[in-house]
Amino acid sequence: MRSERSYVEGLYLRLDAERARVKGAYGAALRGNGGTPMERDDEVRALAKEAKRLDVADNGLCFGRLDSLSGEHSYIGRIGLFDEENGYEPVLLDWRAPASRPFYVATAANPENMRRRRQFHTRGRHVAGFTDEVLGRPGGDAQGDAALLAAVNAPRGAGMRDIVATIQAEQDRIIRLDHPGVLVIEGGPGTGKTVVALHRVAYLLYTQRERMERHGVLVVGPNPAFLNHIGRVLPSLGESDVVFMTTGDLVPGLRATAEDTPEAARLKGSLKILDVLRAAIADRQLLPEEPLPIGLSDVTVRIDAGTAEWAREEARASGLPHNEARTVFAEIVTYVLTERAIPRIGKGWLTRDDRDAWERMRTELTKELAQDEKFVAALDELWPVLTPESLLGPLFTSPERLRAAGADLALLRADGDPWTVSDVPLLDELVDLLGRDKSVDEAAERKRKAEAEFASGVLDSLANREDSMDDEDHLYATDLLFAEDLADRVLERDTRDLVERATADRDWTYRHVVVDEAQELSEMDWRVLMRRCPGRSFTVVGDLAQRRSAAGATSWDTMLDPYVPGRWVYRSLTVNYRTPAEIMTIAAAVLAEFAPDVQPPESVRACGVQPWSRRVTEDELAAAIEEFVREEAGREGTSVVIGPPGVPGVVPASETKGLEFDAVLVVEPERIIADGPRGAAELYVALTRATQRLGVLHRSPLPQALTGLTEVGAPVQAGNQR
């Protein structure tokens, strides 16, 4: 024990020394010693990232040791540390390094050339003890499950914890899987699929850092509570170039949380909605009912239906997005109007035989049209510049527009209703279907060039002034600061970190995307995500049995084959680390009711506490909930009350997906089941959130699947029922 404590203390001394070195270098970089401004920015970012990596390693720096058959031993930890004086000999192996793999996969039957695995039990920086597992000797003094059971039995905190010290063999094989395409990880409740996916991200960032870190990783989860729950796992592993979003966040500047009715969500989530969007755009490309008069010099010309129809056909045939095709439309209309106007302005003396004069006149008239308010207004009426919002909003609030686009009237909603989660992929799709407004882009480019020219002039002026100064002249600090600010703008320096830049840029692409609760994503959601990751590198996490969305996946191949045929692989997790056997027995009975072909995951442990139920009246319900909350407030750990939507003091099951709590009270399960076609799946989710204690309050008779609960008749303390 003493030697192990001494070794780990030495590791912390190295960590502290490295931290001090990085801190000093970071301070020097901030002071701007040497290099260009852009080089200094890059150095500051890199050192800040390294400082974060070293900071998170402080907790549980070293958690194990491997002894090989040849007598060598290696220490395993959160990061790698090296002895610089001895040729950078590793003194602590990063858990992701290939040499660390036996720590997770070696067994008595397959020891991986290892003799012993030692797992440290630490308090802060202090080694309190360790557990040894002898490998390669079946029936030996193996105690390898001790650390795992201690972790899964520990009270839950505010968020998900990493499992770097207790990764199991089936999890490690998935984390280290060498597959360049899409990996689907499916597992029932409590199998650790989310935390495995996050550790896989950390592993990929370690093994492919140069390829991945400049573009980062996107993690998509079902709701903000879930993202908050998992948000500290990757930072605890030293990785910060990760963007966390829900599907409602995928369009910059928009955070949609409202949900559609199941039918509207199904319609919006289907690829058939693409035809509706295209038809809705075409419906805004109009022909005039009556000719529109346009005054030119001393003549008046008219945009008639025939002219507009020709221009519309040419614009559509161009294949350009709507806003960009407006240029084609305008060019055709302009051509027709000038052709009609030139002979009348020339009063017959100007003919096409005088080609140069004809074209000069056309140029003048074209400029005049471009500045004519009536002409611009006519273009706006016939071929308006559209944004995704200005197209979709009027579409969904107008029965006439919906019918014209061939859409189901189930999509109709009131004017002023918020954007929904199902609207987000449609808004994103419309960015491509509509395209950019060229006039806005051109104005922005003119402004940028003007600023650059002005900045260049100021810098030249300051340089000339410095050269010509005599002793009485002064170049003030404010002048230099102003010049430096202008230089930054000329150089287009961007000092935002990766997360800030990625979330603000709709066209940002990621090197890898993690999709959790992926069974809930619609076909349209997948189009957005595939756009965000052209390399098609995904880790997809889900459980088809827990699907609640009418637009979600019924099979993985339906969603993935259109994008990555032959490039996706499937892996399953079968061991339940969260839900004790007593609770899983009840949940499995519910699963059998709506998904009889699905095998429930096998619980790794029992907790000794029997789940209970209690029937209450409507008047007793609120007091019973308060009793549970009061009792759990005095315990260590977390708790939640889950029930049907609309019940005061409870959380809908949909908002707890992916979360876990020490104690769960499920309210009125009969109403959860009755709330839509996926009600039984919602109840299954609710029951499997508990890691220790489960109670059920019901007003109507219990559903048949829950009759295995221990019925009690009076207020109880959940932990006392055995």
Torsion of CA 486, 487, 489, 490, to 10 degrees: 120
Strand duo 182-187 + 538-542: pairing: parallel
Q: Extract the annotated binding site for ATP.
A: 187-194
Q: Extract the annotated binding site.
A: 187-194
Least confident of 212-216, 249-253, 329-333, 516-520: 212-216
pLDDT the model gives residue 347? 67
Instruction: Reduce the DSSP state of residue 139 to 3 states and report it.
Output: coil
Which residues belong to CATH 3.40.50.300 in the chain?
182-249+508-575, 581-711
pLDDT the model gives residue 720? 43
pLDDT the model gives residue 142? 45
Confidence of residue 475 (pLDDT cuts 50, 70, 90): very low
CA neighbor of 260 nearest in space, from 550, 687, 561: 550
Confidence of residue 618 (pLDDT cuts 50, 70, 90): very high
Max Cα-Cα span within the chain: 110
Q: Is the pLDDT of residue 719 over 50?
A: no
How far, in Å, are 460, 464, 471 from residue 475 at the CA level? 14, 11, 11
Rounded-to-integer distance, Cα 603 and Cα 584, Å: 7
Q: Per the CATH hierarchy, to which homologous superfamily does domain 182-249+508-575 belong? A: P-loop containing nucleotide triphosphate hydrolases (3.40.50.300)
Give per-residue pLDDT as tens, 56-93. 888 889 999 999 999 999 999 999 999 988 878 999 99
pLDDT the model gives residue 453? 66
Q: Is the pLDDT of residue 17 over 50?
A: yes
pLDDT the model gives residue 235? 87
**Tokens 């987000």 -> residue:** 424
pLDDT the model gives residue 364? 92
pLDDT the model gives residue 151? 80
Instruction: Reduce the DSSP state of residue 358 to 3 states and report it.
Output: helix
pLDDT the model gives residue 469? 55
Mean pLDDT for 553-573 is 95
How far, in Å, are 215, 323, 334, 430, 701 from residue 251 at the CA level? 17, 19, 36, 11, 45
Return the DSSP state at 420: B
Give per-residue pLDDT as tens, 279-321. 999 999 999 999 999 988 788 999 999 999 999 999 999 999 9
Rounded-to-integer distance, Cα 287 and Cα 306, Å: 8
**Residue 147 near residue 165, CB atoms below 8 Å:** yes
Instruction: Reduce the DSSP state of residue 299 to 3 states and report it.
Output: strand
The beta strands (E) that lie in 324-418 are given as none
Mean pLDDT for 565-577 is 94
Least confident of 112-126, 456-470, 633-647: 456-470
pLDDT the model gives residue 722? 36
Rounded-to-integer distance, Cα 175 and Cα 211, Å: 18
Return the DSSP state at 258: B
Q: Is the pLDDT of residue 481 over 60?
A: no
Give per-residue pLDDT as tens, 665-679. 999 999 999 987 789
Q: Is the pLDDT of residue 418 over 70?
A: yes
Confidence of residue 617 (pLDDT cuts 50, 70, 90): very high
Mean pLDDT for 611-632 is 95
pLDDT the model gives residue 404? 98
Domain 581-711 belongs to what architecture?
3-Layer(aba) Sandwich (3.40)
Q: Is the pLDDT of residue 369 over 60?
A: yes
Whole-model pTM: value is 0.85
Q: Rounded mean pLDDT of the chain?
A: 89
What's the gap between Cα 173 and its chain centre? 24
